[in-house]
Amino acid sequence: MRTVDVDVWVRGTNQARTETLRGVPEQASAWTESDVRTLLTEMLLALERVQNPGGEPPPVVLRGFSWIVSPEAGGVLVHLEMKMGTASAGPFGIDEPTLTGMIARVMAPPVTAPMVH
């Protein structure tokens, strides 16, 4: 596992802060959707820690925010934005279309079977 720095800005403040995430596998090119879910969850929790230092971490639901994967020297960056602020992490050594597809699948609502009566 590697540590990942995430830059966090909370709306209404004047400065961004760098937080460290743990639990993200080293080789982004080998990530699974579970690894991507961990990355997104940890980024959201970092934003929560900066907004509410010392508070209990809330349950995380991967809904209610915008995201984008952007190219950067050495890989790609992941950016999350919501009303409370933004979080950006990377660069990760994975191509943009692959990571974009993985995030889209992780963010997709669960598929439910039609109800049969």
Read out DSSP for 52-117? STTPPPPP--S-S-EEEEEEETTEEEEEEEETTEEEEEEEESS-HHHHHHHHHHHHSPPP-PPP--
Q: C-alpha angle 113/111/25, rounded to 5°? A: 145
C-alpha to C-alpha distance for 63 and 41, rounded to whole angstroms:
11
Q: What is the pTM of this model?
A: 0.89
Tokens read off for 8: 């966090």
Q: Determine the Cα–Cα distance for residues 18 and 28; give it in Å rounded to an integer.
A: 20
Where do the domains of the chain lie?
2-107
Q: ∠ CA 89-94-68 to the nearest 5 degrees? A: 50
Q: Tell me the two tokens of residue 92.
A: 């990760």
pLDDT value at position 92? Answer: 95
Peptide bond into 91 cis (omega under 30): yes
Q: What is the CA radius of gyration of the chain?
A: 15
The pLDDT of residue 113 is 67
User: For helices 96-107 and 33-51, what crossing angle results, to 10°?
Assistant: 80
Structure confidence at residue 117 (pLDDT): 64
For 9-54, the pLDDT digits (tens) are 999 999 999 999 988 898 999 999 999 999 999 999 999 999 989 8
List, for residues 93-103, the tens digit of each pLDDT value. Answer: 999 999 999 99
What does the mean pLDDT of the chain come to? 91
